[in-house]
Structure 1
Amino acid sequence: MTAVLFDFSGTLFRVESTETWLRAVLAEARVVLSEQEFTKTAQALEAAGALPGGAAPQHVPAELAAVWEVRDRTPEEHRAAFTGLSRRVPLPDPRLHDALYERHMSPDAWTPYPDAAEVLGALRERGIGVGVVSNIGWDLRPVFRAHGLDRYVDTYVLSYEHRMHKPDPRLFAAACADLGADPREVLMVGDDRRADGGAAALGCAVHFVDHLPADRRPDGLRPVLDLVR
């Protein structure tokens, strides 16, 4: 292998819990809910799938179905899809829905998996190119910089910047081209069998990890080092 491509959410980073996400936004807005109200609201937001990178929606309303299908194509569609889901849940102030969306783009909302720096650093030492290929509606580079992982990444291929999303093989092809790598010598690492599995159409090897909370997946990325030998 001459290069490794990684997904972002659920692969290299994990988003904070719905409870932490909501609590941070309420604190910033100085809005107080009783514990009962808070718990009920957090559970409703999680069921709605309102936190990008968190639990999938239990149900996508008909009026959001179209934008949900293309949510990773543009920043506007991404925001519309997730704030649309959030607005299914009553909040004390309507402005909190946009505040929740803004919060999820903050580096503070994301935690690298415990072995991410170790694995990325080892790949760099071996001279193996590293790319991040993500279905996303916003610029995740500041998250990598804030957590000290940007120095290990050679290229970012983000769906909203290319107006297409995984599993479209053109995204993986763009990353391989950026790295000057033959797709047949590239490993794609991700947590979504459909989206990340799209790399196989180019001849890339594919390895899947479990999308778990960071403290429950301490070494899920380490097998990558064996796969690239």
Structure 2
Amino acid sequence: MTNIKGVLFDFSGTLLRIEPAESWLRAALATCGTAMADAEIARAAAALERAGALPGATSPAEIPAALADLWQIRDRDARHHRAVYTGLARQVPLPDPALYDALYDRHMTAAAWQPYPDAAEVLAELHRRGTRAGLVSNIGWDLRPVLRGHGLDRYLDVCVLSYEHGIQKPDPQLFALACRELGLDPSGVLMVGDDRKADGGATALGCSFLPVDHLPVDRRPDGLRPVLDLVG
């Protein structure tokens, strides 16, 4: 891979990881001024996680029939994305109806995300080397403020988000768009991501692919560092 001239990264599970479901729920409760006992919070958080209601965390154990079609295209449109995830959250009874939107809104904040320990270091080194870098994400909202909140935006030349183009990975069109914005032929681009199907779809275009594990940040301190060995 010595011909690699640019790197594209996935967002969730690759550069950053979403907070645990319990802290997510506690933040929404604080926003709404709603109280729940600690034991109730723990039970509700676990149920929300099983329901797949926290974007960027685990997929639903079971997708309700009414949401099944929308689930497949959730990352192509901001309204679809919100409808799916608030719908999944509503499978879990909560004391205040306002909590469902508050939960969704919380996950779009910088405070809800934590960069992997080596993310800034790797991005900064690519920038120092003059290597073009970008982000390609299946997502239904603008994650740029999250990147800015963690100081990562300064290292990225390109940000391609599925909902802004109505295309989602693994469709090669999304990767082709990102490569064009990088100004590079796909053969000179490395895609880095935690989803071997979605992110690995870049290989159909001729990109190289480096998989990483979607682990808690304290269990993956240096998963991104191999990128630096692959880029000339």
Settle same-fold status: TM greater than 0.5.
yes
Match of 1:40 in 2: 43
Partner of 1:184: 187
Question: What is the aligned-residue identity percentage?
Answer: 65
Gaps of 5+ in 2: none
| Equivalent position to 1:102, from 102, 105, 111 | 105
**Deviation of residue 173 (structure 1)?**
0.5
- Aligned-partner SS, 1:56: coil
Residue of structure 1 equivalent to 2:85? 82
Shift of 1:28: 2.0
Separation (CA, whole Å) in 1 of partners of 2:67 and 2:32: 27
Task: Quote the Cα distance in structure 2 between the aligned partners of 1:221 and 1:207.
Answer: 9
Alpha-carbon distance between aligned partners in 2 of 1:174 and 1:191, rounded to the nearest angstrom:
20
1:152 to 150, 155, 170: 155
RMSD: 0.7
**Structure 1 counterpart of 2:89, which letter?**
S
Q: Deviations over 1:69-97 (max 9, x none)?
A: 00000000000110010000000011100
Aligned to 2:141: 138
1:220 counterpart residue number: 223
- Tell me the amino acid that sits aligned with residue 19 of structure 1: E
CA contact (8 A) 2:10 2:193 kept: yes
AA in 1 matched with 2:35 = V
Deviation (angstroms), 1:129:
0.4
AA partner of residue 161 (structure 1): E
The Cα of 1:157 is off from its aligned counterpart by: 0.6
Q: Which residue of 1 aligns with 2:199?
A: 196
Report the TM-score when normalising by structure 1: 0.99
Q: How far is the alpha carbon of 1:31 from its aligned partner? A: 1.2
Tell me, what secondary structure is at the counterpart of 1:72?
helix
Residue correspondence of structure 1 range 50-61 to structure 2 within 5 A? 50-61=53-64
1:2 to 2, 5, 18: 5
Once the 2 structures are TM-superposed, how far is the Cα of residue 3 of structure 1 from its aligned partner? 0.3
Residue 208 of structure 2 corresponds to residue 205 of structure 1: yes
Aligned to 1:63: 66
Decide whether the 8 Å contact of 2:7 with 2:132 is kept in 1. Answer: yes
Give, in whole Å, the separation in 2 of the partners of 1:28 and 1:170: 39
For residues 70 and 41 of structure 1, the distance between their equivalents in structure 2, rounded to whole angstroms, comes to 27
Deviation digits for residues 84-137 of structure 1, max 9, x if unmatched? 100000000111000000000011101111000000011011111001000000
Note if 1:170 corresponds to 2:173: yes
Task: Measure how far apart 1:34 and its partner are.
Answer: 1.3
> Which 4+ runs in 1 deviate beyond 3 A?
none
Q: How many residues align?
A: 229
Tell me, in whole angstroms, the C-alpha distance in 2 between the residues paired with 1:135 and 1:155: 15
Separation of aligned partners in 1, 2:103 and 2:41: 14
CA offsets, 1:10-64, max 9 Å, x none? 0000000001100111122221111221111011000000000011110101111
